[in-house]
Structure 1
Amino acid sequence: MNNWLKPHPDSLLGKLGSPSYLRWEAMANLVWVAALIIGPMADPRAVWTRWLVPTLISAPLYLYFHLKVYTAPYRYLAGYAAAIAVLGWLVWPYNGVAMGYVVSSAMCFAYLSSLRRWLTALAILAIPTAIVAYELHASPWIMLLIGFVSLTSGFGHFLRMNNQRRDVALRLSQEEVRRLATLAERERIGRDLHDLLGHTLSLVALKSELARKLALIDPERAQREMEEVERVARHALAEVRTAVTGMRRGDLAAELVSARLMLEASGVAFSGSLPCEAHLSAQLEAPLALVLREAVTNVHRHARANTARVDFTIDKHSFQMQISDDGCGGLSAHGNGVSGMRERVRALGGNLQIDSPLRRGTVLTVTVPMGKEKASELPQEEQSIVLNNRSAA
């Protein structure tokens, strides 16, 4: 059953990432189906033996076609929308409310990829609809009203879909930019390591070979050569550790740029910048960058917010970072992500506060002391780097 309901990757929902508004829009289009039964029952002139059977047969067919409009491969969308219209033309003579099938079909055609295709589909749809309405002696004023509603509502559908397609294209382009940036960074790291180690390892190899040859002829000189090898190796090891520490270190400015890309791609307006006077040590900035990343990820995944911002407050004794949004609130203070953030802040001697009333947004405030961070307070993995650099020096 779940596989049957699961959207095809090339379907309307699959191509657009299954946006919430589109799923709710699909559900809202089904509400009028109740009128197929209520309408004739409220009409004293309707004979149930005439309208009931065609209506009951058409309802599950409509539900199936309507589902396929959203979940079947996109190339079949027009076919399923046309099937809904045909269903309306067939049932309309027995149940006047079935003209809603035709209106629903016009809404589905609005999901086509271009305005010209949608208007062409409406023009084609209008011809048999006008013929059936004429044969059934439907009021031309009612038909004009229905046509106007179909046109305006469908145009609203088309504009929303067009904006959603642009958002998806923007998100894909941003992901491609990130991928290319990651690739460029890998290439840069490879070049740096080659430049850093290539000459050093060649020197170590030559001096080791020379020491091996001198071991029996001139032991004292061989010993000096090996001491030189040891010195060069220790120096290279210190440089590698320094380079790796720089690669691993978090950067608040970079995290702010990443946060802006992530949130704005998902429709959340973001504001926030790092003050010019913010000069943080690597031991302080790295954990704070990870806390910021986790907080922004929570906003992206769970908050359903329209806006988010990051504010920084700096004085002589403390550094404060506040991440706020106007989302649904209700953030748990004991989730895995929050626990990880709290542990990182606690390791810096600071504290983390969360104000997240339900449906009133979330404010996450991090306050850490300035100038008191120690290597022993860092995570175990970063402690080893600092201590090794000190021993190498």
Structure 2
Amino acid sequence: MPTIATFPWWRLLIIPSFYMLLLPFEDKWYGYVFFLVLALAFWGSTSHVKYRESGIVIQHLCVMALIILFNPWNIWFGMYPAIITGFLPSFRRITVYTGSMAALYVTSVWYHVEFNLGTQDLSWIPILILFIGLPYFLRNQQISNQIKTELLGANEEIARLIKIEERERIARDLHDTLGHTLSLLTLKGELVEQLVRRNPDEAIQEVRELQDISRNTLIQVRKLVSDMQSVRLSEEVEQVSHFLQSAGIEVHVQTMDLERIPLVNGKILGLCLRECVTNIVKHSQAENCWMAIYENSDSFILEIEDDGVGMEGMNRGHEGSGLMGMKKRLRMIEGTLHWTSNAGRGMKITISVPKIEKPISEER
């Protein structure tokens, strides 16, 4: 919801302006004056915080005059000060001005009926009740938007800190893995340089040891890189669950023992899970998400279901390309992807990945 400074509130004055032209206050010119003052006070209150409360008072006085001098139905002009009241900084002030508004408007209607011989008509009461609740609704919307903005900022800060921590962890692992080994290789090289002239046989032995150290270091580096690249499926499920919860979506997870799933299968399922959850958060407008991972005789199966708008309510081009991309990746390993969608009742995606007796990474 836009803030009071960014939303074009002047548009709300268009309809009453036409009302002034089509249904004039007969020959009573001062009716137009009260409306003009009301419009100017409303316009000024949206732009100048310093004069907002005085603008509310002026608007209420104009509405009271229109009610007393013309018709109780002019109470609907109270929408304008009610909107401005909703942007006051505290609920206490909102309550004070809202209570005063209700008392003043009721008094104005009573005065019009008693002294202008108007007929008793209570149909204006629902309008007054609406205006009493409007400021609280607007204030709650502001608080909700502020919380969402702060939450988004907090999530971005957490992501930034995670990246920093990951860089520091990689730096520590590289230092611990390579620092000592490279120092040892340097010493070995200097020793070989000294022995190659006076004792070639011992120099050859040192070179062989140097080769063994180099091979072991290469194995350690490959293992380190492999650990950095691979994220276990159990960790991926935990990460996407936190992601959904931070987006305000209730998560329901039912899984098998994920440690039994080979690394290759788990990595494929994790990538598909991440893609599906990203689409749910961005496009589904869902309130709940169900995730299930289980196995049958020849496959591991991932099911993801939500209660959002379904494929019919999403951007078909974007969603279609995302599903087609997953299908192509799964087809290379003889996996399958099926989905069903009902407008307004969500979407269900079922992904099947064939079992691999011995994962490629473990075989290597």
TM-score, normalised relative to structure 1: 0.71
Higher alpha-carbon deviation: 80-89 or 181-190: 80-89
Which structure 1 residue ranges, 5 or more long, are not aligned? 1-5, 15-22, 376-385
- Structure 1: how far apart are the matches of 2:108 and 2:38? 24
Distance 1:215 1:366 in 2: 62
Distance, in Å, in 2 between the alignment partners of 1:290 and 1:370 is: 17
Q: Which amino acid aligns with 1:337?
A: G
Tell whether 2:224 aligns with 1:243.
Answer: yes
The one-letter code matched in structure 2 to 1:266 is A
Partners of 1:189 and 1:98 lie apart in 2 by 70
- Structure 2 residue runs without a partner (length 5+): 115-120
Q: Give 2:26's match in structure 1, choosing from 40, 47, 50.
A: 47
Aligned amino acid, residue 343 of structure 1:
K
Residue identity opposite 1:115 in structure 2: F
**Aligned 1:53-202 pairs, distance under 5 A:** 79=51, 83=55, 86=58, 89-90=61-62, 93=66, 99-122=75-98, 126=101, 130=104, 134=108, 137-138=111-112, 148-202=129-183
Letter of the aligned partner of 1:103 in structure 2? M
Q: Secondary structure at the match of 1:328?
A: coil
Quote the residue 1:347 is aligned against. 332
Instruction: Provide Cα deviations, 1:154-199, integer angstroms capped at 9, x if missing partner.
Output: 3344345444544444444444444434433332222222111111
Change (3 A) 1:135 1:361: closer
| 8 Å contact from structure 2 (residues 195, 203) kept in 1 | yes
Aligned 8 A contact 1:288 1:345 in 2: no
1:188 is paired with a residue whose SS is helix
Residue 219 (structure 1) aligned with residue 204 (structure 2) = no
Partner of 2:323: 338
Counterpart position of 1:364: 349
d(CA) in 1 for partners of 2:244, 2:53? 34
Q: Is the 8 A contact 2:301 2:351 kept in 1?
A: yes
Q: Distance in 1 between matches of 2:5 and 2:250?
A: 24
1:3 corresponds in structure 2 to none
- Alignment partner of 1:298 is 2:306: no
1:329 corresponds to 2:310: yes
* Preserved contact between residue 13 and residue 39 of structure 2 (Cα < 8 Å): no
Which protein has the larger Cα radius of gyration, Structure 1 or Structure 2? 2
Alignment size in residue pairs: 349
Post-superposition offset of 1:289:
0.9
CA apart distance, 1:236? 1.1
For the aligned residue pairs, the C-alpha RMSD in angstroms reads 4.4
2:231 and 2:5 map into 1 onto residues whose CA distance is: 36
Q: In 2, Cα distance between the equivalents of 1:48 and 1:279?
A: 87
**CA–CA distance in structure 1, aligned partners of residues 204 and 39 of structure 2:** 90
Whole-angstrom distance in 1 between the partners of 2:152 and 2:275: 20
* CA shift in 2, pair 1:253/1:144, >3 Å: same
Q: Separation in 2 of the partners of 1:174 and 1:209?
A: 51
Whole-angstrom CA distance in 1 between matches of 2:207 and 2:70: 98
Q: Deviations over 1:109-159 (max 9, x none)?
A: 324443224234546x749x9399759944599787655433333334434
